[in-house]
Amino acid sequence: MPKIEEEIKTVLRVVEPTKYKVLLHNDDYTSMEFVVEILMEVFHKNELESEQIMLNIHQKGRAICGIYTFEIAQTKVQQVKLMAKRSGFPLLATLEQE
pTM of the model: 0.84
Is residue 20 one of the residues assigned to a domain? no
Give the mean model confidence (pLDDT) for residues 1-11: 77
**Confidence at residue 7, expressed as pLDDT on a 0 to 100 scale:** 79
Is residue 8 one of the residues assigned to a domain? no
Is residue 59 one of the residues assigned to a domain? yes
Q: Whole-angstrom Cα distance, residue 97 to residue 74? A: 11
In the β-sheet with 92-97, what is the strand arrangement from edge to edge?
A: 62-69, 19-25, 92-97
Residue 61: which CATH number?
3.30.1390.10
Is residue 5 one of the residues assigned to a domain? no
pLDDT digits (tens, 9 = 90+) for 13-72: 888 999 999 999 999 999 999 999 999 999 999 999 999 999 999 999 999 999 999 999
Q: What is the DSSP code string of 38-82? A: HHHHTS---HHHHHHHHHHHHHHSEEEEEEEEHHHHHHHHHHHHH
Is residue 16 one of the residues assigned to a domain? no
Is residue 86 one of the residues assigned to a domain? yes
